[in-house]
Structure 1
């Protein structure tokens, strides 16, 4: 059959794989269409590197396979982008920072390799907030630039995985990889009308579902994880199945599903965003979902005691360890810090170099984090909850600050709030607890800006959580594509 450009751009990951597996769509045609799309939308700054020759060569190899061999590949011909802090063999991995812009890894990160082995094709590296230390993706490095929201290029797309989210929302690719330390797959998903997943991390070891040791430019080994991003939850489930070897999603019925509404995460929301997320609740109730308000009064206080000590102290040790393990062009934290381009990230690295929270670190890790994990476990058990539901962010996208990388925001005329703290409030607690989190589109504000809802589940409930997300998005529907 003959595919128009618009038909190709509209394909979800699952649809694209099915079309290529069946031979109805040539991989070379599809890749060429998306490479042209990437070039046409370069002003969005979604990508730091385009893998033009490599992607076309991979497409040709896939088209040359026998129909049986091509049909056997779970991700046959699927174009993806990979966040620029995840190692990719032969492609720059700079973490969006000048000190690493010449670094090309020797090997792919294990998660990347599993997708490639299944037939995926890396179209390019995705732009990001410099060194992943921010939630705007306003990167002021010359080789990167601020990532722009396709629903309004003057607004942030969220971060730090903003480039991956924008490439997906703008129909440059149907899926990709981000990383998540405090919300970095879920926040940009919410602000760009896409879906983002943070898999279970737990206390590491067998509880960690995505294993990429020394293959991601780090912040915190306790909190960091790679996570899939896509246009819908079904596509997230497809990538997650390939990465983990999990089986099909479990069967889910919404009738009788018990979903907790954590009160601290529903407070002090932007009015326009609150209108959208609260309008979603009666739609889900009509499908049989039972909503259970839960107090979780200690949630934000416990999270505050864990978040900064773990991230700042672990970055102090983890970043140099990655530099040495990967034979990077610089070997010390000070060398990386000296060339940081974004003022907001530079101030964070000043703190990392000084390591002022080292004395609080052990208490955060051994006292407060276990208490946070226990609060979640008790909440799920006491109320017999299948998941928690809340707005992924407190507010929709705000204007880009081209000078500082991030700035203060106001919510409903409030006093200025630190932008990082405002956007992280709802996503950070689950990150610190190590449980799985999923953001899916909830709708558009009156100004046409995307809003996300997040589902968090018990540790290890990843496949069930994704199944709940698929059922929710069938009720809530997909968002219209941005007009570009």
Structure 2
């Protein structure tokens, strides 16, 4: 008598098929681990489901690699005992789910009820939230095993992940330890790029999943936020150490687009995104996003663009007039005013007692973040906030809406960052960098230039691998779409990645 497949069996099989995965043998899995890069998320789950490996062996391998690579400073908290206990429960049949046994990491600003959530800042180092963030909870219930909380730019106020808190330290790029991994989700990106895990969660306010993805050869999604409510794809209100309720969102990160799509499907409870045919798709090429590029970034992203044109993508060379100027009227007034109310609201909702906004500001360790909080505590942008949120942000959104509509576009294509990863600056935390040997420019302003406008408009964006510079540094290519087009973006990403490939593993 043939046994009827369970709903769980069907879901596992569909995940593996959607990711383009073939069932690996135990020997193949061991070979992948020996090569220091694990199989994809779907392959690991499928191998555990088929009993070709145990959840304990997958989790143990991830923890051992994390311990071997401590110099990356990818973790603030390694959940060794808790992760091994969870894996053992799965192996004993006590817990099932579509991600059963999959080791993942969680950025340390996302609430976890059984682990501290520090936000990478001294005042919250031992803070213990009362409950899990919803996105993390859905992954946990699906059987994912959290091996640790990842390092980040302090309080997520930056894009280098050069955290100068004594218990954190600067995160290092696995491709070159003298360089940044990007931020603020730099620890999650470094853990994925280094082959510790295949995927995990970060958060994004102005580029914090996509910038580190670009600089580490991984994939990062900023889900739709829109104007909140039903337009917000992930709802983790009050359960993530905040910057801005208008701009913040949790976002999945992975080695491949399929890994990110898998986490997205579990978090949203929707069918996993399928590859979109590229022929006939129309992608805008705004000149302002393609200007002032590092020479290697320009060469690699233009070569990637040419490959997409050969695949039948219609590239529409139309700029978005006035976009950067309009974005400047929104960005700082929102990001440097909303924390005044949002951080106390978070502390109350998380039941973190005895710590105030003033306490957090007083103990900040990184100079660049301390400077930002000086402006916050003085409410330097208070007078500009209402105009920014009620007039200027809607105007920015209308610019995007018109650009998509008037040019009949499926998305916008551009280099995620205008330069590859710059060196770590352990003095200023953020500091300065040079593009093409020019005069020093602010690192923050330079690397966030292309990701910030879409963040303020609330549209979704996906950064994926474009190529490697002659110096061995990854470069990212981003595609943005209208609010609500997340699944389509992921589908386009699957097809684009099939053409451009994935990043080679770092030599570590």
Question: Normalised by the size of structure 2, how large is the TM-score?
Answer: 0.93
Where does residue 141 of structure 1 map in the other structure? 165
Contact 2:461 2:479 in 1 (8 A): yes
Where does residue 63 of structure 1 map in the other structure? 91
Contact 2:465 2:503 in 1 (8 A): yes
Contact 2:264 2:272 in 1 (8 A): no
Where does residue 27 of structure 1 map in the other structure? 55
2:174 to 122, 147, 150: 150
Where does residue 424 of structure 2 map in the other structure? 400
Where does residue 258 of structure 1 map in the other structure? 282
In the TM superposition, what whole-angstrom CA distance separates every residue of 1:65-96 from its partner, at most 9, and x where no partner exists?
18xx74xx211211111000000111110000
Where does residue 178 of structure 1 map in the other structure? 202
Where does residue 294 of structure 2 map in the other structure? 270
CA distance in 1, matches of 2:497, 2:447: 23
CA distance in 2, matches of 1:87, 1:286: 45
CA distance in 2, matches of 1:10, 1:405: 32
Where does residue 69 of structure 2 map in the other structure? 41
Contact 2:275 2:492 in 1 (8 A): no
CA shift, 1:446, in A, is: 1.0
Where does residue 332 of structure 2 map in the other structure? 308
SS at match of 1:275: helix
Contact 2:199 2:253 in 1 (8 A): yes
CA distance in 1, matches of 2:275, 2:507: 36
SS at match of 1:313: coil
Where does residue 387 of structure 1 map in the other structure? 411
Contact 1:330 1:336 in 2 (8 A): no
Where does residue 332 of structure 1 map in the other structure? 356
Where does residue 280 of structure 1 map in the other structure? 304
CA distance in 2, matches of 1:447, 1:415: 21
Moved more, 2-11 or 223-232: 2-11
Number of matched pairs = 480
Where does residue 294 of structure 1 map in the other structure? 318
In the TM superposition, what whole-angstrom CA distance separates every residue of 1:5-46 from its partner, at most 9, and x where no partner exists?
326733111211111122111111111111110000001000
Where does residue 9 of structure 2 map in the other structure? none
Moved more, 308-317 or 249-258: 249-258
1:54 to 75, 82, 96: 82
CA shift, 1:387, in A, is: 0.6
Contact 1:323 1:330 in 2 (8 A): no
Where does residue 126 of structure 1 map in the other structure? 150
1:467 counterpart = 2:491: yes
CA distance in 1, matches of 2:307, 2:216: 22
SS at match of 2:337: helix
1:211 to 231, 235, 239: 235
Where does residue 42 of structure 2 map in the other structure? 14
SS at match of 1:249: coil
CA shift, 1:251, in A, is: 5.1
CA distance in 1, matches of 2:318, 2:423: 34
1:329/1:144 CA distance change after superposition, 3 Å? farther
In the TM superposition, what whole-angstrom CA distance separates every residue of 1:431-451 from its partner, at most 9, and x where no partner exists?
000000000000001111000
1:243 to 256, 260, 267: 267
Contact 1:310 1:361 in 2 (8 A): yes
1:446 counterpart = 2:470: yes
CA distance in 2, matches of 1:8, 1:452: 22
1:197 counterpart = 2:221: yes
SS at match of 2:336: helix
CA distance in 2, matches of 1:364, 1:315: 15
Where does residue 14 of structure 2 map in the other structure? none
CA distance in 1, matches of 2:317, 2:37: 40
CA distance in 2, matches of 1:248, 1:325: 31
CA distance in 2, matches of 1:319, 1:252: 40
SS at match of 2:168: coil
